């Protein structure tokens, strides 16, 4: 069931979201300062292309001030635009009953798009 959900996900918007993450990651890696943000974006892109069957959790260690600072910078650098894209797709998918699982997945990814530092994909 997870595989079928992932295939439908890729066809109906998942590829677009993943490409958005990959392009943002490559653009962010142009500068040395942007490399951590680019790596997070690429990690989120891998999650966005095959999201069903994965879990996102906080790292075992306590969140540090650096991860909070990086999340604030991430929000202003590009996180807000990715968040808005996920919210748009989530609302569109939740219009129909069949699309509700995909809309819920977009809402989960939207939450992650606002603060990716300190989280890990399992």
Note down the domain range covering 20.
Answer: 2-121
Distance CA 54, CA 107 (A): 15
Q: pTM to 2 decimals?
A: 0.80
The number of domains in the chain is 1
Residue written as tokens 């979201």? 17
Q: Decide if pLDDT at 38 tops 70.
A: yes
* Residues 6+ positions from 100 with CB-CB distance below 8 Å: 93, 94
Question: Is the Cβ–Cβ distance between 66 and 72 less than 8 Å?
Answer: no
Strand, coil or helix: 58: strand
Q: Tens of pLDDT along 8-20?
A: 888 887 888 889 8
Query: What number of other Cβ atoms are within 10 A of residue 59's Cβ?
Result: 12
């Amino acid at each position: 069931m997870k595989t079928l959900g992932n295939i439908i996900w890729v066809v109906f918007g998942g590829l677009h979201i993943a490409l958005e993450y990959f392009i943002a990651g490559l653009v962010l890696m142009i500068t040395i300062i942007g490399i951590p943000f680019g790596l997070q974006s690429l990690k989120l892109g891998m999650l966005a292309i095959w999201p069903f069957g994965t879990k996102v959790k906080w790292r075992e260690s306590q969140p540090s001030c650096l991860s909070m600072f990086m999340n604030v910078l991430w929000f202003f650098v590009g996180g807000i635009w990715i968040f808005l894209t996920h919210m748009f797709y989530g609302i569109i998918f939740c219009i129909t009953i069949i699309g509700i699982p995909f809309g819920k997945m977009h809402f989960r990814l939207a939450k992650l798009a606002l603060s990716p530092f300190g989280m890990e994909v399992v």
